[in-house]
A and B are shown apart, each in its own frame.
Chain A
Amino acid sequence: MNNGETLLSVEHLCQYFGRNKAVDDVSFEVKKGEVFGLVGESGCGKTTTGRSIIKLYDITSGNIFYKGERIAAGTLSYKEEIKAAKEAYKEAKKNGTDKAKLAEIKADTDARIAKAKEEMKAAMKDHKKHRTVTDIQMIFQDPIASLDPRMTVGQIIAEGLVINGEKDKKVIDEKVYEALEMVGLVREHAGRYPHEFSGGQRQRIGVARAVVMNPEIIIADEPVSALDVSIQAQVINLLDDLRHKMGLTVMFIAHDLSVVKYFSDRIGVMYFGKLVELADADELFEHPMHPYTKSLLSAIPVPDPQFEKKRQRITYVPLKEHDYSVDLPSLREVTPGHFVYCNDAEYEKYRAQVAE
């Protein structure tokens, strides 16, 4: 199923809200047909990443490519480049460089600024061209808050079709019924209102709304965390069936690690806006490298009383674990397909661990 074709690629994504760096320089790729899991504690930027991809926010910096085409771009990196160029020139001027050299630097700076401006223009053009991407759909966390209480289920599911210019009522109805049946509801439900459904059924409506657009990628943002265990299993099984039936690619955002492990092929771990580790699901759970991942895995509750009574939780204190005062960290590939956010010294340490 996983034929290695990259469907979605996120490069240096930054999403700042004022001074709050919700997502800071995150890069990853999602391959066609896979389930990509994103985990981390609340507030670490997983949801923001998902929302940035479907363009609910204008991203601050970085690029997002879908099928090789740039669908979103931010401008901060270009602005910073321009600022840096200007500053370099000022610095040179202050230091009293001789005139000939100064003119040379000035020309160089102008070229740099012009290039950055041009790139920024191109980026904004791409960014504005794709107002929305119907091929990427999202399932939201809260099935109660994400459905308009004054619209019937049929209207809710059909809304996307209507916005995209579908006018034939028959076609719309047909598609809505098809979507309803696909998620295990019946045609009659189309005429009812959201409040008439139970939590699990509401989440199914959310799923139907996403699949009716016939998307390539579904971003499922904590689709089961608001549901009861028994209903959770229904929704997970449903997503699994749909994925196989429609050949979907899924980006699965959740904080319940057992569910993510069960459902995902590859998993990315986020911590305070940074992607700290990225690997195949089994690899990640068997050989976690980043101390935060280790701490996260040690905290997973397991339905086994004897195990639980002996469990040793590993705490993660960034200050104790890393010394990033000189040697700055970045995301590096330690073993094929296994990326860890680390600096040179840690990289060597991890490599040594793997070699053992």
Chain B
Amino acid sequence: MKKKLSVKNLVVSFRTPAGKVQAVRNISFDLHEGETLAVVGESGSGKSVTSKAILGILAGNSIIEGGSIVYDGMDLLKITEDEFYRIRGDKIAMIFQDPLSSLNPIMRIGNQLTEAMLLKGEARQKSCKDAFNSTLALLGDEMVAVENNPALKEMCANFDKFEFKHIELESAYNTAKESAVEVVDEIEDVLFYIEKNAFKDPKYTLEEIARLAAATVNEYVVTGADADKIKALSAELKKNASADVRKKDYTESVRILKEIQEIIKPVLEKEMPDFFSMGYFLTFSGQKLPQMPVSELNEYLLNYLNEHFMNEFKSHVVKALENSAKRHMELKAEAVKVVEANRAVLESDNMDKKACDAAIDTMVKAVEASIDKLEIRKDGVAYTFASTIKAAVNTYFEGIPKNAKAAKLHDKQQKKYDKLVAKGKTPTWKVTPSTAVDLDVAKATITAAIDRLLEHYEELLAGGNARDFLAETDELILFFKENASGSVHKVTKEMAKHRAIKLMEEVGISDARTRYRQYPFEFSGGMRQRIVIAIALAADPDILICDEPTTALDVTIQAQILELINKLKKDRNLSIIFITHDLGVVANMADRIAVMYAGKIVETGTSEDVFYSPAHPYTWALLSAMPDLETEERLEAIPGTPPNMIYPPVGDAFADRNKYAMQIDFEMQPPEFKISDTHSASTWLLHPDAPKVEIPQIIQNRIARMKAKGGASNE
């Protein structure tokens, strides 16, 4: 599976008047494409801080002390705010916990929902176009260079040409097909409501159906005589709507609706033509499309495309990719040399700012030249090298004056403090620490960044990462297809509104059309939460972070929204980080689970691992603190409260509340013990020398019950 997001050694603290609160202490995890990672823990365990770090919206008093969050070849901890604009909300969206403070009070709900869709639609069109054009140009140059044949450039241009024909055909088809699906749905609903005498907002609904029905006319959806009929029916429905609504008698409308339904329903079964091949055929063959059933047509077109263009084009692309990879391998070897030569400057005991900047410049240039831009899977380490090293060096040099200032303040306060103590008083405040930035840590970060790059490159040079160029060619063509379709996909105001209303209905807001024009204060808490969810989903993100999205909602709506998120995940291959403390919800959503406590991940595994064979005492405690429908025995509450993270415990943070704690738990932090390939936990109980401890009875009972049921469904 493709890695979408990779968090490594993240450390985040908050500066507070009472001292530095260590909220996240060295956590690492990966998020793969199309999976849901649930992060479970109590409030204050650092779950939300982690998610906010990913989105770059940490509070002002936060200090990111180390680590990296790599997404799409960027280190999210190091990029600038401008670069973040392109990611936040569009690529990574978040459903916030608090619906009160995440909506704009003076904007109508509708505007808030469509705002992002419209803006991002435009931006995406542009960025897709750029990506398509620049990559194709690069590929063309490479192809020409490899085989020394300028004619190949033209081949690329041809590809560009018919790709756009393909998109044009396909987007027209998609609009029509989507309209058809919707019309059938809507008509069913309307007929039901008319029958039950509970038809709301009839005029708008009927006109909307008329509009949608007219939109289904397309060469491959509703064709020929049917098309004319639909057009006539649609016009009739629209004309008739007002009269029917006035009379409150819908017999005429029902007749028309039924007729429309009859025509459109069979259309939904039709197979989709292969527009990619068709695009080529129509652009270059100069012939008319042969008349045959869609499945045969698809085969014919595909053969035609492969014969006349694709096979040849692919062979050239493979060559180009191979050559580009080879060339960049040499550049990588070069880069390693440059970095090795320059690293001494950055690691000397008395670093000089100017020399350092110069060294970094040379290094970055060499590394950037060595990045193979034709490789679609971005190499995170290389791409983030520049920002990481620059940020690390900046931290170091900015730290020096900061430390001097802090030391001054510290001396002054210490004197005052000592005076008070001498007088026999106990001051209620604490002295600020003498250092603001730990320079040793900053230096270590620089070394680590260089080491990581070198290690990675040496591995690549040693052939550690064999590439399959044929597969990569297919991926590249897919990349072109996607970007081409992105660049012609325009979001109009009307579409945005339609989608917004649909989304509102999907998240369970009744009477969405009236609600669309209301302000946030007119909504209840649960309703606002749903709006927030709809806004996050409207942007069609790549990664969705859900921070306790359903905690404030009741079970039916919660189930509805979780189903919606799961459906979107499947449809759009979304990756989700799901933060919650409700284990029932986790069981529903998660593919993998990370249990967090006091800023650390204490246990991680697939959801089966964590629910059926939990290993960490904290996971046990969480599981046994929650009643399920069959629990009869007394709940086992976790005694006490989480530790104060200004003074994090020396040993295992959970030791104080843990009845299985051993002496070593108070003295040393446990390392991560691997239980299986997917499952690991940080507790000394897993050490070979530790005494054998059974899982608490209440959980054993529950697991036995679950196994007995064998996951039977509730029907």
Contacts and interface: CB of A to CB of B under 8 A. Distances in A.
Interface of A: 40-43, 198-200, 228-234, 236-237, 240, 255-259, 261-263, 285, 295-296, 298-313, 316, 319-320, 325
A229 B555 contact: no
Contact of A258 (B43, B622, B627, B715): B627
Q: Please name the 5 residue pairs, one residue from A and one from B, whose CB atoms are nearest each other, closest first.
A: A306-B711, A301-B584, A299-B559, A262-B627, A233-B637
B116 interface: no
A301 B558 contact: yes
Interface string B621-655: 11101111101001111100100000000000000
The secondary-structure label for the interface of chain A is: helix
16 contacts: A228-B581, A229-B622, A232-B626, A237-B634, A237-B637, A240-B634, A255-B554, A257-B629, A258-B584, A259-B627, A299-B555, A299-B560, A304-B611, A305-B587, A312-B713, A319-B192
Contacts of B714: 298, 307, 311-312
Contacts of B563: 313
B555 A303 contact: no
A229 B553 CA distance: 16
A273 to B, nearest CB: 15
B196 A303 contact: no
Contacts of A298: 559, 714
Contact of A311 (B198, B583, B588, B611): B588
A42 B588 contact: no
Interface string B612-624: 0000000001110
Given A229-B622, A298-B714, A303-B628, 19 more contacts: A41-B555, A42-B524, A228-B43, A230-B42, A231-B42, A237-B634, A240-B634, A258-B627, A285-B629, A299-B560, A301-B559, A303-B611, A303-B702, A305-B590, A306-B711, A308-B584, A308-B587, A309-B588, A316-B556
A42 B554 contact: yes
A240 B632 CA distance: 13
Contacts of A232: 625-626
B625 A41 contact: no
Contact of B711 (A199, A296, A310, A319): A310
A307 B582 contact: no
Given A295-B556, A301-B587, A310-B711, A258 B524 contact: no
Contacts of B634: 237, 240
A300 B584 contact: yes
B136 to A, nearest CB: 43
Q: Which one of B42, B198, B621, B635 has the greatest number of beta carbons of chain A within 10 Å? A: B635
A302 B628 contact: yes
A42 B590 contact: no
A302 B713 contact: no
Interface in B541-585: 553-560, 562-563, 581-585
Contacts of B147: none
A312 B588 CA distance: 12
Given A300-B555, A302-B629, A304-B587, A310 B712 contact: yes
A296 B626 contact: no
B706 interface: yes
A228 B558 CA distance: 18
B214 interface: no
Interface residues of B, number: 56
B598 to A, nearest CB: 13
Contacts of A300: 555, 584, 629
B709 interface: yes
A304 B559 contact: no
Contact of B585 (A233, A296, A301, A307): A301
Nearest to B582: A301
B713 A262 contact: no
Contacts of B198: 319
Contacts of A255: 554-555
B623 A303 contact: yes
B258 to A, nearest CB: 20
A202 B140 CA distance: 68
Contacts of A261: 627, 629
A303 B637 contact: no
A42 B713 CA distance: 27
A259 B636 CA distance: 14
Given A42-B526, A233-B638, A262-B627, A306 B710 contact: yes
A325 B196 CA distance: 10
Contacts of B711: 304, 306-307, 309-310
Contacts of B236: none
A312 B715 contact: yes
B582 A304 contact: no
Contacts of A43: 524, 526
B588 A301 contact: yes
A258 B559 contact: no
Contacts of A259: 627
Contact of A230 (B554, B590, B625): B625
A43 B509 CA distance: 14
A325 B626 CA distance: 43
B49 to A, nearest CB: 16
Contacts of B557: 41
B525 interface: yes
Contacts of B712: 307, 310
A26 B706 CA distance: 38
B526 A229 contact: no
B586 interface: yes
B713 A310 contact: yes
B625 A229 contact: yes
A305 B607 contact: yes
A230 B637 contact: yes
Contact of B42 (A229, A258, A303): A229
Contacts of B555: 41, 255-257, 296, 299-301
Given A230-B42, A303-B583, A42 B626 contact: no
A307 B607 contact: no
B556 A233 contact: no
B629 A313 contact: no
Interface string B16-39: 000000000000000000000000
A20 B636 CA distance: 42
Contact of A42 (B192, B553, B621, B636): B553
B608 interface: yes
Contacts of B585: 301
A285 B710 CA distance: 20
Contacts of A40: 554
